[in-house]
Structure 1
Amino acid sequence: MAEHGAHLTAGLAANSASGRLSIFEVVAQDTLMLAVRPAAHHLCKVLVESNPARYGFLWRWFDEIYSLLDFLLQRHYLSRTSASFSENFYSLKRIPIGNGIRRWASQGLPRAQHWRSLLMIIAVPYVKVKLDRLFARLREEDDYAIHLPESSRKRLCKAFLAAYPFLNMGWEGWFLIHRLLYIFGKTHYHSPLLQVAGVRLANLTPADLRSFEQKSSSVSRSPTTTSVVGKLTAAFGKALGGAAVTLSTSVSVGIFFLQFLEWWYSSENQDTIKSLCSLPTPPPPVHLDSLMNDDLPRLSTVCSLCNKLRTNDTALATSGYVFCYRCAYTYVKRHQRCPVTGYPAELQHLVKLYLPEA
């Protein structure tokens, strides 16, 4: 086992030395953006539930708004670091295939690879999400809707429902095959989207890091632009860069928080949550012993306040005792507590009891 582990370690070291990334690195950066979208969707849901009139449009147009913001973020990183947001987070960069000119990461990608990368990063996930939701909606309608005589639209929807699971399986299998080929060293692309974009992933080199520092220092030493358009462009660039840095810093904390929530609500942790939340019923007040013997009526149909047969029976939700409505209303309004147990109570805790006629 030790020798086998040594061979694995040596293989990983050789891959690192040759500039080839491990499967764990590339899968980790893929998973990062997959975790950001559900977090943004949950935040949107919280905002909409707090004020539907103001934030309702966020829920209706969430996919479009998220794709637009993602487009601005990814375009900024691709033009500045030759990598997407998640790839830059893991210190990776995209290298153009078939380009003999050596480029630093700070120079960005060539125009063709830049726009093809944006298309693969933004458009493909957007279309995939829309198709998944369309399939879920049509399947729900097909299961619960009233089946009318078939039309051309109905036949088209049935064909889509029948074919989409196989298309989705083929899509996922395409990605799985690329990852297996990448693990065994048969291809440079762990994802077919990278191959379509004409790029591959690699680690940032010390020369790339120095180029980033030189670029930032040259920007800080550049003379101040006097034109209004130049000032607005510079301010927008600084704001976008600051937002990108803030997002990059907060994502590391956010991912930990999301993993904690996932663990907290996992099925394995439900028993622990139930044991913490299912607290025992508190014991009755100590002074009830004397009340039971002296002040409380012997008959269950007698009100303990007026010592007469109850009329218009009303229970107090905080304690469960039953009184006449008039007696309970007057006492609770004056003392704000239960007359038997002394538990705090309000008028809204009075519950009318509808008993069957004797």
Structure 2
Amino acid sequence: MLFQVGGQGSRPTFFEMAAAQQLPASLRAALAYSFGVVALRRPIFHKILDYEDEFFALLMLVLETHSLRTTEASFSESLYGLRRRPVNITTRKDNAKMDSKQLQLPWLRRRQRVLSVAFLVALPYLKSKLQALYNKERAARLQASLWGNDDVTFDDSGTYVGQAEAAHGGTDVVGPELSSITRIKKQVSAFIGACYPWIHASNEGLSFAYQLLYLLDATGFYNLGLHILGVHVCRATGQELMDSSSRISRIRSRERERLRGPPWMKTVQKLLLSCIYTTLDYAQTGLIAAVFFFKMMEWWYQSAEERMSAPTVFPPPPPPPPPKVAEGGIPLPHDRSLCPLCSQRRANPSVLVASGFVFCYPCIFKYVSQYKRCPVTLMPASVEQIRRLFHDL
């Protein structure tokens, strides 16, 4: 069961269904990233990013409607060779008779197509907007807890607006009307903030339960939406693919026959229909190929830019020359392990930061405390500049 990817039977495996379900989210992320990169050079595309949910919902509405009409599958399911088939299930106590009561119909009904588009486009759009409102309400609550003000709100752009600014900030609406609108918005935001976590948790729990049951072959529905629609997702056979092609041809022939008007108008309409048909036919594979091609080019140029902008590694500079011995200073011994003050091997070696020379701690502490200078270079120093050395060469 776990390794039947593309295996026998018309029932898709769990991995095929999971890949088909995750494709729209991956496609949206890739498109948003692509438009974000293009917007860096063309600021006009920032308007598309401001209405990202609406543009993606409109794109998916066109793709899903066309895919369900022509291939009897969603946009992502058609890319994996899957088809939707309606099924009427009669609940019986005898499980042995259940298979005989499952009647698969050849094509989706019109109601099932419309509801499929609603589940595939409208519900993800609504979920995205509710998630954005919940994040804004949560940010407002966090800001209110930090500022100690329960009347903190956010405007449409997500900018913090205080109570005084919300009441008098740049609007022509009169006071009572503004207060009622603000109160309604706050109530709606508070309601969403309180209910959305439970709705989201319930949705995720149902999705996990259906996916687990589908993985264990306990149900034929991968999610709740398919169960409500009464639709099974099956692998498409070669005959079904041929039937789909002929069905598309018949639909387009009927649409061309319905054209009305003078000959020149019919010619223009046929030309427009041909352009639309060609765009829709290649929209699925062309969109996916364009995104992957853009990601490949983006990775290629990013690697080149990283190589060009990589910092040049230079060898470490040579150490500075040691400070010179002053004319009235104590000469340095030939043996570097000896203290310049007592001419004995250093005990508890310590360095004087002002000059960098190393002495015995008692010797240098006593000398600096008395003369306030380095005994070798005669540079001004203090006892705070004496540092203990834990490793002496």
Query: If the length of structure 1 is used for normalisation, what is the TM-score?
Result: 0.61
Alignment of 1:256-335 (within 5 A): 256=292, 278-281=310-313
Corresponding residue for 1:191?
Answer: 223
Q: Tell me how many residue pairs correspond in the alignment.
A: 263
**1:148 and 2:138 matched:** no
Instruction: Tell me the alpha carbon deviations over residues 197-246 of structure 1, each in whole angstroms, 9 at most, x when there is no partner.
Output: 22110011122122134346667989975744765654444333322333
Once the two structures are TM-superposed, the CA of residue 20 in structure 1 deviates from its matched residue by 1.2
Alignment counterpart, residue 247 of structure 1, candidates 283, 286, 295 = 283
Alignment counterpart, residue 19 of structure 1, candidates 2, 5, 10 = 10
**1:60–1:201: structure 2 CA closer, same or farther, 3 Å change rule?**
same
**1:156–1:66: structure 2 CA closer, same or farther, 3 Å change rule?**
closer
Corresponding residue for 1:238?
Answer: 274
**1:45 and 2:36 matched:** yes
2-structure distance, mates of 1:219, 1:116 = 21
**1:235–1:69: structure 2 CA closer, same or farther, 3 Å change rule?**
farther
Alignment of 1:1-358 (within 5 A): 12=4, 16-52=7-43, 54-98=44-88, 100=103, 102-103=105-106, 109-145=108-144, 146-149=147-150, 154=186, 157-158=189-190, 160-215=192-247, 227-228=260-261, 231=267, 234-254=270-290, 256=292, 278-281=310-313
Deviates more, 1:214-223 or 1:68-77: 214-223
Corresponding residue for 2:380?
Answer: none
1-structure distance, mates of 2:73, 2:103 = 19
Structure 2 counterpart SS, 1:96: strand
What CA RMSD, in Å, does the superposition of the two structures yield over aligned residues?
Answer: 3.9
Q: Which runs of 5+ in 2 are unaligned?
A: 89-101, 152-182, 316-393
**1:149–1:181: structure 2 CA closer, same or farther, 3 Å change rule?**
closer
Corresponding residue for 2:347?
Answer: none
**1:261–1:93: structure 2 CA closer, same or farther, 3 Å change rule?**
same
> What letter corresponds to residue 196 of structure 1 in structure 2?
I
Once the two structures are TM-superposed, the CA of residue 66 in structure 1 deviates from its matched residue by 1.9
Structure that is richer in helix per residue: 1
Once the two structures are TM-superposed, the CA of residue 257 in structure 1 deviates from its matched residue by 5.4
Corresponding residue for 1:350?
Answer: none
Give aligned-pair identity as a percent: 24
2-structure distance, mates of 1:87, 1:191 = 14
1-structure distance, mates of 2:185, 2:289 = 47
1-structure distance, mates of 2:310, 2:22 = 36
**1:233–1:279: structure 2 CA closer, same or farther, 3 Å change rule?**
same
**Contact between 1:97 and 1:198, CA under 8 Å: does it hold in 2?**
yes
Once the two structures are TM-superposed, the CA of residue 36 in structure 1 deviates from its matched residue by 1.1
2-structure distance, mates of 1:223, 1:119 = 25
**Contact between 2:211 and 2:223, CA under 8 Å: does it hold in 1?**
yes
2-structure distance, mates of 1:167, 1:219 = 41
Structure 2 counterpart SS, 1:31: helix
Once the two structures are TM-superposed, the CA of residue 159 in structure 1 deviates from its matched residue by 5.1
Larger radius of gyration: 2
**Contact between 1:73 and 1:244, CA under 8 Å: does it hold in 2?**
yes
**Contact between 1:20 and 1:202, CA under 8 Å: does it hold in 2?**
yes
Instruction: Tell me the alpha carbon deviations over residues 125-171 of structure 1, each in whole angstroms, 9 at most, x when there is no partner.
Output: 00010011111122222222544356786566445434422321221
Query: If the length of structure 2 is used for normalisation, what is the TM-score?
Result: 0.56
**Contact between 2:71 and 2:83, CA under 8 Å: does it hold in 1?**
yes
**1:205–1:133: structure 2 CA closer, same or farther, 3 Å change rule?**
same
